[in-house]
């Protein structure tokens, strides 16, 4: 049976709001998530190429065909509503509750596990090209990490561009980090996706630069991070056709709205150019069919060269932040299992 076409792709007499990413909410797997091998060996010991199952390939092909007519159309503040709508469709995880909070003046939401946490927390930084995304829309997605890892996560509502351009988001997250540390929650991991992944690395690099007397993250995790606002990665060309929704023109417009004329090579804006020595162990997951592939791969390559325990998993045939398709793509569940186990293990080791 062919998987159903995503709801936003249905024909209508009015214009359909473009999706923020591939929407798999009505594309179902033909069975339970297939078991995938840890990853094929690559030319680099710090990189694993993860395979695509036939079941996932069918789901992706259906969603990709529906997404392509909207490719590159999400831009500016008009994209905020459809982006949040799509993120809110991520299924709610079981055994997780949510609480609003203010941490150091930064509002957001706690995702809390149903069982007693052993100690530690996650600071989660949402994606959205620095201009979209809210903590409330991300609660369900982050809740899946919390349910697996068994530790609470705070999703921060950092200020968004263009109303609040660079470095407002970085400043907010530094403030939020310091306030979380003051709460004495135990070791803290920092995680994020897309722009939030880049912000996670920018925050961590800034903390590492201040030296060991400053509290450091116990672990770093990023999904499809934006690390280079110069857009110099080869995948902007080699994956231009394969990527189902981002274009270089779209990305340049979003980067310009965030930077407002500031230097795109500033390490706090593009952590690919930061000094990475002293970073916590980090794991990165990226789709092989996305223009941001090389933002992830090059960041990990530089981290390894700087002596950091780092690894990138490149998922064959999958798009940007495919993990949001948890429950619909077997690879999404497996990637979240890996991410959560890494975070839980690092927090336990650092306790």
Examine the residue annotation and report whether 320 is marked as an active-site residue of this protein.
Answer: yes
Residues linked to residue 311 through DSSP beta bridges, in sequence order: 283
Which of 290, 325, 328, 340 is catalytic? The answer is: 290
Concatenating the DSSP letter of every residue in 122-167 gives EEEE--STTTS--HHHHHHHHHHHHHHH-S-EEEE----TTTS-TT
For the chain, the straight-line distance linking the first and the last C-alpha, in angstroms and rounded, comes to: 49
Assess whether 290 carries a catalytic annotation. yes
Encode pLDDT of 80-113 as tens digits.
Answer: 999 999 999 999 999 999 999 999 999 999 999 9
Helix or strand or coil: residue 23?
coil
Calpha distance 245→187 (Å, rounded) = 37
Which listed residue (70, 144, 285, 320) is catalytic? 320
312 forms beta bridges with: 47, 284
Q: What is the pLDDT of residue 41?
A: 54
Pairing mode, strands 153-156 and 106-113: antiparallel
Q: Is residue 203 pLDDT above 90, yes or no?
A: yes
Domains and CATH numbers, the chain: 7-350 (3.40.50.1820)
Encode pLDDT of 53-88 as tens digits: 999 999 999 999 999 999 999 999 999 999 999 999
pLDDT of residue 23: 56
Known catalytic membership, residue 194: yes
Tell me if 187 sits within 8 A of 156, measured CB to CB: no
> Which of 194, 224, 270, 340 is an active site residue?
194
Q: Is the pLDDT of residue 9 over 70?
A: no
Indicate yes or no: pTM above 0.85.
yes
- Name the 3-class secondary structure at 2: coil
Question: pLDDT band at residue 22, thresholds of 50, 70 and 90?
Answer: low
List pLDDT tens digits, range 277-313: 999 999 999 999 999 999 999 999 999 999 999 999 9
């Amino acid at each position: 049976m062919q998987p159903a076409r995503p709801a936003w792709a249905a024909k209508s007499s009015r214009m359909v709001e473009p999706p923020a990413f591939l929407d798999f909410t009505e594309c179902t797997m033909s069975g339970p998530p297939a078991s995938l091998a840890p990853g094929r060996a690559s030319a680099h010991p710090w990189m694993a190429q993860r395979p695509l199952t036939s079941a996932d390939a069918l789901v992706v092909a259906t969603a990709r065909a529906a997404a392509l007519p909207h490719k590159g159309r999400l831009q500016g503040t008009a994209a905020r509503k459809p982006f949040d709508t799509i993120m809110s469709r991520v299924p709610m995880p079981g055994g997780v509750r949510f609480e609003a909070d203010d941490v150091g003046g930064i509002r957001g939401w706690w995702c809390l596990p149903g069982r007693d946490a052993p100690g530690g927390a996650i600071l989660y930084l949402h994606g959205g090209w620095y201009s979209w995304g809210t903590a409330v829309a991300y609660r369900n997605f982050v809740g899946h990490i919390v349910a697996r890892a068994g530790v609470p996560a705070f999703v921060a509502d950092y200020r968004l561009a263009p109303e609040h351009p660079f470095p407002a988001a970085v400043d907010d997250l530094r403030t939020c980090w310091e306030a979380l540390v003051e709460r004495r929650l135990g070791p803290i991991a920092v995680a994020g996706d897309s722009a939030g992944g880049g912000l996670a690395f920018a925050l961590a690099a800034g903390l590492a630069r201040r030296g060991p007397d400053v509290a450091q993250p116990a672990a770093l995790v990023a999904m499809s991070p934006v690390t280079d606002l110069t857009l110099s990665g080869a995948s902007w060309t080699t994956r231009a056709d394969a990527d189902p929704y981002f274009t270089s023109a779209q990305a340049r417009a979003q980067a310009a709205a965030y930077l407002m004329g500031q230097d795109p090579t500033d390490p706090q804006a593009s952590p690919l150019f930061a000094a990475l020595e002293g970073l916590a162990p980090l794991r990165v997951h990226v789709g092989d069919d996305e223009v941001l592939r090389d933002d992830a791969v090059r960041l990990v390559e530089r981290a390894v060269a700087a002596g950091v325990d780092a690894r990138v998993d490149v998922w064959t045939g999958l798009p940007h932040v495919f993990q949001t398709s948890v429950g619909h793509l077997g690879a999404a569940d497996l990637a979240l299992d890996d991410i959560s186990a890494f975070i839980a293990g690092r927090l336990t080791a650092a306790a």
